Amino acid sequence: RAAVTRSVWGIELDLSGVTFCDCSGLNTLLAVRLQARRQSKTVTIRAASPAVHRVLTLTGTWPFFKAADDSDSDTSDDAGPEAAPEISADRAPPPAPLPAPAWADGADERLRTEVIQLRRAMQTRPTIDLARGILMASFGLTPEDAWSALVMTSQHTNAKVHRVAQGLVDTVSGTPLPESVQLVLSDVLTKVGTAEAQSTSR
């Protein structure tokens, strides 16, 4: 973020040395790009490792960071990944994008499943983070313990973690948790608190 602010036109990234990239990394890149657009600047990825290239390609966000990305023509953050930047008449044709690596040619069912899970994680993460914050503020839990409480409640109620998280977030506006979930969560919080106390005493 500081580099974007200091720059005149934007920043270029060399991510060829990145060995792992997940939705957290993607969210960071998208957040920096949004900051750059608000300052009429660009964020360009000049080199990407297979890990980075795969995440950006599978989520459809690669065009946002190509050398040909024109942030002036991209007028909406809601534009779909397929929306290609327009090129005005006074601009030279954009350079060709980086070629896809050979390993990307045969994406199988496993990769399709991975991108579905990645997109779902990106959609549900804000709610889960809010729920963790509620647990931390209400019960003095650490981030790790708050996450454990959500997971354990999910397991004992046979509900997805993000659904348990949404229920907690809804309590802020006055919607109570189902009684069955309340009982499980109360028990889980007791166990988490006891475990934390024992760990601290050691």
**Per-residue CA distances from 111 to 37, 59, 77 (Å):** 31, 11, 26
16 located within any domain: yes
d(CA 196, CA 145): 8
Domain at 5, CATH number: 3.30.750.24
Contact between 95 and 68 under an 8 Å Cβ cutoff? The reply is yes
Contact between 181 and 167 under an 8 Å Cβ cutoff? The reply is yes
For the chain, the domain total comes to 2
pLDDT digits (tens, 9 = 90+) for 37-92: 888 888 999 999 998 988 888 877 888 888 653 443 333 344 333 433 443 334 44
pLDDT digits (tens, 9 = 90+) for 141-190: 888 888 888 888 988 888 888 889 999 989 888 889 899 999 999 999 98
Which structural domain, as residue segments, surrounds residue 163? 124-201
101 located within any domain: no
**In the block, residue with structure tokens 């509900």:** 159
148 located within any domain: yes
d(CA 16, CA 22): 15
Q: Report the predicted TM-score, pTM, of the whole model to 2 decimal places.
A: 0.42
